[in-house]
Amino acid sequence: MMKYFSSRDNTLRLSASRAIYQGLSEDGGLFVPDGFHRFSREELEQLIPLNYQQMAVRVLESYLDDFTKEEVSAAVAAAYGTGFDSPQTAPTVSLDETTHILELWHGPTHAFKDMALQLLPHLMTLSAAKTGDGREVVILVATSGDTGKAALEGFKDVPGTRIMVFYPRDGVSDVQKLQMTTQQGGNVWVESVHGNFDDAQSGVKAIFTDGELKRTLSEKGFVFSSANSINLGRLIPQIVYYFYSYFTLVREGKLALGDKVNIVVPTGNFGNILAAYYGMKMGLPVRKFICASNKNKVLTDFFLTGCYSLDRTFYTTMSPSMDILISSNLERLLCDLCAGDSDKVKKLYTELKQSGSFQVDEETKTKMDGLFYGGFCDEEQTTETIRRVFEEKNYCLDPHSAVAYHVLEQYRAQTGDGTPAIVASTANPYKFSDSVLTALGGSAQGKTGLQCVELLHERIGLPVPEAITRLKTSPVRFTASCEAAEMKDAVLQFLGGKA
Ligand SMILES: *Cc1c(COP(=O)(O)O)cnc(C)c1O
């Protein structure tokens, strides 16, 4: 039986459904698996012909062992169906013999968050049914853009759930704002908050920790939960596409089963790259994990020195989903590298809280060096990469994916390692149409996001996703706006009357 323990207290042991329902451990730690199912050679061979849904069931079932196989299959079928505009769900496109782009943006909101957030609601309602007491699950999200929309699409009209998203009024792009304010669904609410992302985030945290509010709503039959990337239910679906991409390349004769690959990931909260690492623990043949950062390069410095330090400037970049100082899921990697020694992990994170930095020991650093490479890409290099790759390969990268591509080139030049690489591509370029248009020599000045989409389309020819075209004519459903201090009232109103 696979159990999950807290990265800060390994004496706690929870089932998968408990861990998903609860989200975060009460001691502040993250839930991690106490072991991995390692596929045998024979089992790996059986994975070769599988389609995305079949692969998902095979990868997920070992993690969800208090779910029946029928439950896992039904959840996967509901998640990875017609909402994706590619029959492969996550196709892999080869730019040359050793550079393969894993496109994770064919879901309903065209960002990689869909890969997990299309499945999470189903795992959440199943978990609630197993461990909860029949209360309705209320998902609260503070978003700087992509997560809010992907969570809305995932949870819309899922029975037994409601979802409320708060976004900073002046902190999201035109396209992102329209995507959220035109959201369909009978169980959704979207509201803007006066202030920046931190104000919205602090408001949500205050609601989560308001004991009185929790009790009041509990009596009314509601329980809060979160859809952010520290939830296991968001992490484990991301393991699937690394297997799927690897076996796509095997099927196409570009790899032989057992050949090692390098995996390159544009990294923010460290969830996506950690999922690849968990894949390796299950038998995926990986040589190096290449962790790509933008100008906010806390992770590059960490992999170089073993010191994680928050003493640095925060930059706003054209790859906003990677603008981050605290990469939460790194804690899960450290826990694994320390062989589950949660006292050691707890000490590091207490230090981070108290002094703003920690340093890992020699043993951990050596393990990291063997498996990880960290590199970063500044704004100019991002622009240059988008332009050059389009010119040379006729392939348009979004800014996040361009960061990953550049760091791969840097790694190859530095090490001479020509191992075939799978590069995670995390957003459709139209989602960041102004930056991409500018990189390709166009002018975004004075134009709306949707106008930039049209101009970019003329330039690159890639079909514009229907969901983005539709924004022009979709009615706006949500115009409400509040102060951060009023968010609690907004929640109460959404859930039916004042307490
Ligand atoms: C969230 C996101 C990332 C970062 O992924 P992590 O799992 O947080 O490291 C990268 N690119 C895009 C487009 C994203 O939305």
CA of 314 to the centre of ligand 1 (A): 17
Q: What is the pLDDT of residue 169?
A: 87
User: Phi and psi at residue 308, in whole multiples of 5°?
Assistant: -100, 115
Q: Give the nearest ligand 1 atom to 270 CA.
A: 9
CA of 372 to the centre of ligand 1 (A): 18
CA of 321 to the centre of ligand 1 (A): 5
- Mean of per-residue pLDDT scores for the chain: 94
Residue 498 confidence (pLDDT) above 50:
no
Nearest to 163 by CA among 137, 143, 144, 184: 137
Structure tokens at 1: 């039986």
> pLDDT digit string (tens) for 120-167?
999 999 999 998 778 899 999 988 778 999 999 999 999 999 999 999
Model confidence band, residue 497 (pLDDT cutoffs 50, 70, 90): low
Model confidence band, residue 228 (pLDDT cutoffs 50, 70, 90): confident
Q: What is the pLDDT of residue 146?
A: 83
The stretch 108-118 carries a mean pLDDT of: 95
Model confidence band, residue 358 (pLDDT cutoffs 50, 70, 90): very high
> pLDDT digit string (tens) for 303-334?
999 999 999 998 989 998 898 888 899 999 99
User: Phi and psi at residue 88, in whole multiples of 5°?
Assistant: -90, 0
Measured CA to CA, the distance from residue 399 to residue 405 in angstroms comes to: 10
Model confidence band, residue 263 (pLDDT cutoffs 50, 70, 90): very high
* Pocket flag, ligand 1, residue 277 (CB < 6 Å): no
Nearest to 419 by CA among 243, 271, 249: 249
Q: What is the pLDDT of residue 258?
A: 98
DSSP string, 375-412: EE--HHHHHHHHHHHHHHHS-PPPHHHHHHHHHHHHHH
At residue 423, the 3 state secondary structure works out as strand
Nearest to 60 by CA among 314, 240, 300, 271: 240
The stretch 370-379 carries a mean pLDDT of: 98
The stretch 193-207 carries a mean pLDDT of: 85
Show the CA angle centred on residue 227, arms to residues 224 and 230, nearest 5°: 110
CA of 146 to the centre of ligand 1 (A): 9
Which residue puts its alpha carbon closest to atom 8 of ligand 1? 269
Nearest to 20 by CA among 35, 10, 31: 31
Q: Is 16 exposed, middle or buried (0-12, 13-18, 19+ CB in 10 A)?
A: buried
The stretch 51-55 carries a mean pLDDT of: 98
The stretch 184-202 carries a mean pLDDT of: 90
Which residue puts its alpha carbon closest to atom 15 of ligand 1? 321
Catalytic residue, chosen from 3, 69, 113, 214, is 113
pTM: 0.94
Which residue puts its alpha carbon closest to atom 14 of ligand 1? 321
Which residue puts its alpha carbon closest to atom 1 of ligand 1? 321
Q: Give the nearest ligand 1 atom to 401 CA.
A: 11
Please report which helix (H) or strand (E) contains residue 101, including its range.
Answer: strand 99-103
Q: What is the pLDDT of residue 70?
A: 97
* Pocket flag, ligand 1, residue 322 (CB < 6 Å): yes
* Pocket flag, ligand 1, residue 330 (CB < 6 Å): no
Q: Give the nearest ligand 1 atom to 398 CA.
A: 13
The stretch 26-33 carries a mean pLDDT of: 90
The stretch 429-453 carries a mean pLDDT of: 94
Reply yes or no on whether 113 is catalytic: yes
The stretch 194-203 carries a mean pLDDT of: 84
CA of 236 to the centre of ligand 1 (A): 15
176, 291, 322, 423, best to mutate for ligand 1 pocket (most atoms within 8 Å of CB): 322
Q: What is the pLDDT of residue 499?
A: 42
When mean pLDDT is compared across 39-48, 52-61, 203-212, 229-238, the lowest value belongs to 203-212
Sign, Cα dihedral of 357, 274, 111, 267:
positive
> pLDDT digit string (tens) for 393-403?
999 999 999 99
Q: What is the pLDDT of residue 110?
A: 93
Q: Give the nearest ligand 1 atom to 431 CA.
A: 13
Q: What is the pLDDT of residue 425?
A: 98
